[in-house]
Amino acid sequence: MSKYKSVIFLLLSVITIAGCKKENFVKENTNPEILTTIDPAKEFLNATLQMHNQRFEAYYDYYRRIMPWMQMDVAQTGNSKTLVTDIGNFGTRYGIFYPTLGAEIEDLHYIINTMPEDEKASYVYMSNIADILKIYYAFYVSDIYGSIPYREAFQGRYGGTVTPVYEPQQELFALWDSSLHAIATTLETTQPTAQVSLGANDLYFQGDVTKWSKVANALRLRIAFRLSKRDEAAAKAIFADVLSDNNQMASNDDSWAFYASPALYDIYRSNGDWDISSFKAPRPTVNFMIENSDPRIRDYYEKNNYTQANINVAIDSNILAPGTVEKPNRYVGAPISPDSAQGKYKSWFTPKFVNGSLILDTISFLKRRLWNADYSGGTGIVTTPVITYADYCFMRAEIEARGFVTTGGTAEEWYNKGVEASIRFWDDAANKAQTEDYTAVTDAEITAYLMAPDVQFDASKALEQIAVQSYINFEKQPNEAWALWKRTGMPNSNTALALENIVIDGTVKAIPRRAAISLPASNDPNYANKEAAIQQMQQDPGFGSGPSDVFGRVWWDAQ
Amino acid sequence: MNKKIVYRLVTLLLCMYCFTAFSQDRKVITGIVKDSTGNGLPGVTITVKGTTTSGISDDKGNFRISAPEGGTLVFSSVGYTSKEVTVGTDNFISVSLDVQSNALNEVVVTGFGTRANTRKLSYSVAQVSGAEVDRAGATNIVNSLQGKVAGVMINQGAGGPSSSSRIRIRGNSNLSGSTMPLFVVDGVLIQPNATGADSWGDARDFGNILKNLNPDDYESVSVLKGSAASALYGSQGINGVILITTKKGRVRNGLGVSVSNATNFDQAYKLPDFQNVYGGGIDPYFLSKDAQGYDVVDPDNGPYYSFGPKLDGHIVHDADGRLVPFKGNNLLDLFRTGTNVNTNVALEGGTERTTFRFSYSNLMNNSVMENNYFKRNTFTLRATQKLGKFINIDANATYVTSNTLNPILQGGNSNPLFRFAYSNARNYDVDYYKNHYIDTLHGGSIGGNGNPTGNPYTRGSMTSVFWNYYQNRVKQVEDNLRAGIDITGTIRPWLTLLIRGNFNSLTTTNTTKNRGDGPGFLGSSAQYSRGITTNQDFRVQALLTAAKQLNENLDLNVTVGGETQRGLGGAYNYLSTSGGFKNADIFTLSNSVNALSTDFRTVGHERLDAMYLYGDITYKNMLTVNFSGRNDWSSTLTYPDGHGNYTYFYPSIGASWIFSELLNDNNALKFLSFGKLRASLGYTGGGTDIYATSKGTGYILNGNYTDYNGSLIPLYGLNSLTLNNQNLKNLLAREWEFGTELRFFNNRLGIDATWYRKNTKNEVVTINAAPETGLGGRIINAGNIQNQGIEISLTGTPIKSRNLQWNTTFNFTRNVNKVIDIDAKDGVNSYSLDLAFGADVASVAEVGKQYGTITTGYAYAYDLDKGSKTYGQKLLKQDGTYWRSGDYGQGSKDLGTMMEKFLLSNINEVNYKGFNLFVQVDAKVGGLMASATHQYGSEFGSFESTLYGRDAAHGGVTWTDDNGVTRNDGVIPEGVYASGTIIGGTDVSGMTYQQAVDAGLTKPMAAWQYYEGIASWGTGIREYSVFENSWVSLREVSIGYNIPKSFTQKIKFQSLRLSLVARNFIYLYNSAKDHINPESIFSSRPGAFAEYGGLPLIRTYGFLVNASF
């Protein structure tokens, strides 16, 4: 009897003794994997990846919206009749910035700000560089959304407002300019304390502070160019101020670009949303490049597959007439207008079936590996430009050509530098991407190109030439090509690189100019501020017929 | 702490009683329990009324028990009406028990596994016997419950035999990611999680832990539906409890051996309605002939779209250059007959002091998909031992190892059914290409990364599907050990102490062997990975129970007890090759091109302590009051800094009144054989998820980023963008339940009806925050989710004679799962539950509506101007496709709810001599589902519904195309052009398409254009593929025969039973468009409502042999 009693007693005791103490429960619910703090540079890396790892943006905003609107690609079977009206899923950047990208930069500041004072002093550069990324992206969002929350945004985690107010674009442009000015100044000033570098967490410049100060200056110019359409005087002042700084981009080494490996990092994997292989080369740019022997044609586009060998197979199959020979030029661009893909024109987009393994297709593809370096087994590196030295040169050229500021160097000099920088940048990108028939560009090709009829600098056509070359240079910056067109109206059907009118059922169509802004739902946590921002933007008649009118304009895009 | 004091008191009480001697006026009674046919009845529980003294009859029905003279013996057994006998002077008692009419079992297992007389229960409990669960040999225990119990909704898994089924009892009581009930197997708590694919459907479902339950060993399965029933289990039981007791060994002479074998065949018998009228192309005629004069299948569209010429079987020059007959394929050819063999051997034996039962089960299920199997080996040992006079030990241990290979990808481009419907013409030659997808010249698959894409049929298409299924091997092995011990001490005849310990350990090992699909069978797709997850938990419980007859009229049962549960957590370790293999086809980590990729995580810890007091008091065996109170201490509500309101109390109370006892003498009401009313009110409290209190604090490691030169950079970031909450408290659910149980005409007709209403409040949920604040959400206590419904079980015995009996049961379930509140004070009235088509369609909990409201911005846009003549018409774009509501500025539209209106099932059991026929039909009425297969299959003309408009017979309009060919496949879309639409310079706003055609402004749409418009990724209207999912299924048919004893004895068998069974035999009705498989929802998450391919309809048939020696 007593034996069993003791067994029971023992068991009960075990339960009783082990229980009760709250700290035992607390210990169980403490996640051992949570770290209290991290290197703030990690948040910079996170924000970088958040900016570049966006497959929906590639699929919708770029490949299917802005690029065909800007005649940078054409759908495989020709552009559809809903080209300018179908804006489904357009505008992913807002959701990239809010909440994630902004929160990551904000957290970088939070980590630094909660450090002891002496330690904090070592993060002045890092903190400033992070803000360049944040301003760049906020500007990129505002560029097509107009008013956005900025100063009050991203404070929810730190006890700040949960209903941040939207700020008008004009105020934001001014704020960003002064911030960037301050950032550039700080980055150019030697700090009393040794600074902690972003190092490997900076995928662009590995923490090179000088390069970031140059980027800050270049970004000021980019913003000021938008501003110039609305307020030329303010823009001029900014140009003068920026160019009084000695720290300026001076070569492609200073270009702000993102490099990624497709094999190791999944973002450029083909057969997914990143896959560009169903898009064709656009006729306007292809024709311009052929006429002027632009060496970038081989970096941007693929030759069609009418090789003599393939032609011979087709001849054997009675598909082509005997005696057909390969043409000297196998770069063929697709017509742009949806009307050019209909009816009798449809044959343009109808490849010729020869046999199970050969289909002859007249129209060139975009250079698939330039976008998807893993296309057909590739292992190269993908280049994504943000602000390149060529972009900078063309901005300088335009400043001179418009006579905004005179700071040394002529429009022609900057234009020529820009063209050369662009060719060399894309040559390098094609090389890195291991494009299948990569051939390095030669100095002679560049020299010849600069002498080509539509390229050779002509002061009377300077603005057009700068716009055309900027447009070509923006091959992988569709948003900049779009902004250029909104700002200057070029290129267009009358420029040397002649865009086509977008004709649908015989009517020339307008092209969207901004994002569709959705009316907030009544239960939106930030309803009042959203509603106020829309009201405010609607004061400007250019805003359009309603918030979702993509043919309307944001503030800088003055009518 | 008061808990400590209670424990000590209990201990003290215990010690005092142990020293007291037992009363002397008891004598040993022996006897036999028989069934109505006179055979000895084994396993009957014999209890001395008002005490906890009990015994069990042996395999011949003999029993032995000590009882006081004048005391009452209660004989009870699951499936029989219990009986009470007063102990007289005789030392031998013979009793016979009557079989109960179906579903009105009088003895059920409830609470913490105790047997209770239903007379005393104030809530509804349904019990299914082990034999019923096992009858049709379903691999998954959940599926075998389908239709058997009112109030229980089951969706079968869509991913093959390992796939987890969704089970929900009385609706979804909360917003969490799983609303499946708690399973309790001999005291081991098993919380199934939801598994399955995300809204892209592209995942294999290895199922949850329930696949490791083996019904062969089950004695009974009780379904505790309401809060009053499950109150003792706390928040773990908030979604109901499925209480399983396993078989014990019986007292007998020698060793008993029983063997059963179920051999079933799975047959993929029906696809959705694929059309076999038109083949590849978008024009209903051949565009060209080849040099030999054969019609050429359009190489651009022929391999993908099925809007081409008629499939008349004539020889054509196909798009791959082969000369083949132009005919439709049959995807069913791709599936084999699955085999499902389950063999169980059980040994049992026992003496008065010791019993044991050992069983081994082997399940081998080769599914209808090649290369997909589910195997399970189960070893179970259960032993009981009496120590001295007062101690009983009951120990059990089960070891299960299950092994699953290549479950089907439930949806997306790698699901064969979806891939067939999507961008794959009806004339695709399955038989040829399933053997011609490997690039024999280069190695790898045709079109694999770096290989030529071959012909149009191998571009994308099915090639990668075949590769995936036939060349890759993805395996999951689970080792599950469950063990428990019950030590029962009889302190006084009326006082017992039960100490119970349970342990559950699960180790899951995943291995992936993906063959390289590039040249030389290399390339980055080649992968070998190994991941191991371990998780363990245990529970110790002590219950002190007093059962005392207070006086002639009053019986009292009270239990006081406590338990502690410890989730011991575990680890997840994952290693994988990266960047492909150095050598082809060598599946090992050292074959990796790049540094191995790794992932290590901790599986979290949890602790829950509880104390409880529960019991009942019965007056004159007529009126019973039940009560319970439980206090929890939950680690999940504590914060790392030590604060947190982690303790909470919740009670329940109920009453049961057998009012028919008062009417016994009333001749006018003689037709009423039994009448009972019951009412209960139960509360359930609960904590939250492990580490939820830390959500939104600190940082975690997110693996590595590999930069362009191959360097690894560790990624650290915020734990979550959610705003942390330092004041979380417990949730609380309240449930009212009223019910009645009536039996008429000598129990020939019975009805059991229940009404309930349950509200769950203060659940810990993450709600939306304005993204501009930098927050992804906020974690708060919120919500009020209500489930209100009725459950009716109607039982009848239309025929009852000596040799023939027919029992029939109707189960009816109606539940309304309403969202009363999400978070009104913060203006939040919607909570996203699940998605379909990526994120195009969502199921949400929206205030004022039913749980699972389906909403989409890809619905039709309508003319909403009430003053307009075209009010209510669908709006067309310039090209004749429909405007999506979201794009047109009309926002998201609610299409209805995924929740069914009601469930109805009818179960029939006919016994004729040794024969037994069982037929079950069940039906679900109402509730929406979304089908990606239907949507994208319609785009390509794969389904019968897309025949509309193809020719004059199917309503097609005659028109002339751009090639000048007159054709009959014109479609005039219904609707009017949206305002501002201009065609060729003419404003057509408000004009119907027909009017525009009549005005010569446009042509009828070619059928393919119409379906492309309505169903493609870029322009499709998802509403088109959201439809009612109602069905009537002939769920189960079986015929069993008990070989007569006269024969079995000759062959030295004690019993032998043969049965033929069929499950999921056919859908008598299926409302899904194009008869999409209604049970193909790709996840068991509570809000899941969509399919993305799944499997064809599969029926199972076979035979069962049960023998004992």
From A14, A37, A103, residue closest to B699, measured CB to CB: A37
Asked if B604's CB is within 8 angstroms of A31's CB, the reply is: yes
Contacts of B881 in chain A (CB under 8 A): 82
| d(C-alpha A441, C-alpha A439), whole Å | 6
Phi/psi of residue B280, nearest 5 degrees: -60, 140
Touching B: A residues 154-173, CB under 8 Å: 154-157, 160-164
Contact A114/B at CB under 8 A: no
> What are the sequence ranges of the domains in chain B?
2-99, 850-897+928-1015
Asked if A344's CB is within 8 angstroms of B707's CB, the reply is: no
Write out the CATH class of domain B2-99: mainly beta
| Cβ atoms of A534 and A528 closer than 8 Å | no
State the average pLDDT over residues B966-974: 94
Q: Which of A352-361, B57-66, B714-723, B978-987 has the lowest mean pLDDT?
A: A352-361
> How many CB atoms neighbour CB B86 within 10 A?
12
| d(C-alpha A209, C-alpha A193), whole Å | 15
Contacts of A38 in chain B (CB under 8 A): 699, 716-717
Closest chain B residue to the Cα of A6, Cα to Cα: B15
Determine the 3-state secondary structure of A137 from DSSP: helix
| d(C-alpha B996, C-alpha B959), whole Å | 14
From A1, A374, A507, residue closest to B18, measured CB to CB: A1
Contact A354/B at CB under 8 A: no
Asked if A342's CB is within 8 angstroms of B962's CB, the reply is: yes
Whether the per-residue pLDDT at B230 is higher than 50: the answer is yes
State the average pLDDT over residues B466-478: 95
Whether the per-residue pLDDT at A281 is higher than 80: the answer is yes
Torsion angle of C-alpha atoms A509, A510, A511, A516, degrees rounded to 10: -120
Whether the per-residue pLDDT at A344 is higher than 70: the answer is no
Contacts of B540 in chain A (CB under 8 A): 11, 14-15
Q: Could you give the angle at the alpha carbon of A111 between the alpha carbons of A105 and A112, nearest 5°?
A: 95
Q: What is the pLDDT of residue B14?
A: 41
State the average pLDDT over residues B507-512: 97
Q: What is the pLDDT of residue A356?
A: 62
**CB within 8 A of B998, min separation 6: which ones?**
none
Q: What is the pLDDT of residue A449?
A: 98
Residue identified by tokens 């938990």 is B537
pLDDT, tens digit, 9 for 90 and up, residues A170-212: 999 999 999 999 999 999 999 999 999 999 999 999 999 999 9
> How many CB atoms neighbour CB B881 within 10 A?
25
Q: What is the pLDDT of residue B141?
A: 86
pLDDT, tens digit, 9 for 90 and up, residues A115-134: 999 999 999 999 999 999 99
Q: What is the pLDDT of residue B413?
A: 86
Q: What is the pLDDT of residue B275?
A: 97
Percent of chain B predicted with pLDDT > 90? 64
- pLDDT band of B100, cuts 50, 70, 90: low
Q: How many CB pairs under 8 A join A and B?
A: 308
From A271, A344, A376, residue closest to B450, measured CB to CB: A376
pLDDT, tens digit, 9 for 90 and up, residues B527-575: 999 999 999 999 999 999 999 888 889 999 999 999 999 999 999 999 9
Query: Tokens at residue B359, please?
Result: 């069983």
Q: Which of A138-152, A270-284, A391-405, B901-915 has the lowest mean pLDDT?
A: A270-284
Percent of chain B predicted with pLDDT > 70? 97
Q: What is the pLDDT of residue B124?
A: 87
Query: Residue A417: CA atoms inside 13 Å, Cβ hemisphere, count?
Result: 21
> What are the sequence ranges of the domains in chain A?
25-52+93-248+518-558
Q: What is the pLDDT of residue A4?
A: 53
pLDDT, tens digit, 9 for 90 and up, residues B285-327: 998 888 889 999 988 788 999 999 999 999 999 988 899 999 9
Asked if B10's CB is within 8 angstroms of A524's CB, the reply is: no
Determine the 3-state secondary structure of A309 from DSSP: helix
pLDDT, tens digit, 9 for 90 and up, residues B199-214: 888 889 999 999 999 8
Q: What is the pLDDT of residue A5?
A: 55
Sign of CA dihedral A459, A463, A464, A469: positive
Mutate which of B446, B609, B708, B825 to test chain A, going by most A C-beta atoms within 10 A? B708
- Distances in Å between the alpha carbon of B43 and those of B56, B134, B1056? 6, 19, 19
Maximum separation of any 2 CA atoms in chain B, in Å = 109
Closest chain B residue to the Cα of A60, Cα to Cα: B1018
Q: What is the pLDDT of residue A200?
A: 94
**CB within 8 A of A61, min separation 6: which ones?**
A90, A91, A92, A93, A478
pLDDT, tens digit, 9 for 90 and up, residues B157-180: 888 889 999 999 999 999 998 999
- pLDDT band of B84, cuts 50, 70, 90: confident
Q: What is the identity of the amino acid at B755?
A: W
Q: From its phi and psi, is residue B544 left (phi > 0), alpha (psi between -120 and 50) or beta?
A: beta
Whether the per-residue pLDDT at B11 is higher than 80: the answer is no
Q: What is the pLDDT of residue B953?
A: 95
ipTM: 0.92
Whether the per-residue pLDDT at B599 is higher than 50: the answer is yes
pLDDT, tens digit, 9 for 90 and up, residues A477-534: 999 999 999 999 999 999 999 999 999 877 888 999 999 988 787 777 898 999 999 9
Contacts of A198 in chain B (CB under 8 A): none
> How many CB atoms neighbour CB B273 within 10 A?
18
Q: How far is B715 from chain A (nearest CA, A)?
A: 7
Sign of CA dihedral B692, B694, B696, B702: negative
> How many CB atoms neighbour CB A555 within 10 A?
24
Highest mean pLDDT of the ranges A20-24, A298-302, B96-100, B386-390 = A298-302
Whether the per-residue pLDDT at A17 is higher than 80: the answer is no
Touching B: A residues 307-326, CB under 8 Å: 317-318
Q: How far is A118 from chain B (nearest CA, A)?
A: 23
Contacts of B889 in chain A (CB under 8 A): 519, 546, 548
> How many CB atoms neighbour CB B586 within 10 A?
11
pLDDT, tens digit, 9 for 90 and up, residues B985-1023: 889 999 999 999 999 999 999 999 999 999 988 789 999
Mutate which of B11, B772, B828 to test chain A, going by most A C-beta atoms within 10 A? B772
Mutate which of A5, A24, A28, A90 to test chain B, going by most B C-beta atoms within 10 A? A28
Q: What is the pLDDT of residue A551?
A: 93
- pLDDT band of A8, cuts 50, 70, 90: low
Whether the per-residue pLDDT at B107 is higher than 80: the answer is no
Q: How far is A238 from chain B (nearest CA, A)?
A: 29
Whether the per-residue pLDDT at B273 is higher than 60: the answer is yes
pLDDT, tens digit, 9 for 90 and up, residues B416-444: 999 999 989 999 999 999 999 999 999 99
Q: What is the pLDDT of residue B12?
A: 40
Contacts of B721 in chain A (CB under 8 A): 99-100, 103, 157
pLDDT, tens digit, 9 for 90 and up, residues B819-867: 999 988 887 888 999 999 888 899 999 999 999 999 998 999 999 999 9
CATH architecture classification, A25-52+93-248+518-558:
Alpha Horseshoe (1.25)
Asked if A507's CB is within 8 angstroms of B772's CB, the reply is: no
pLDDT, tens digit, 9 for 90 and up, residues B356-401: 999 999 999 999 999 999 999 999 999 999 998 889 999 999 999 9
Contacts of B391 in chain A (CB under 8 A): 4
Whether the per-residue pLDDT at B707 is higher than 90: the answer is no
Mean pLDDT for chain A overall: 91
Q: What is the identity of the amino acid at B315?
A: I
pLDDT, tens digit, 9 for 90 and up, residues B37-53: 677 787 788 888 877 77
> B153 or A524, which is more confident?
B153
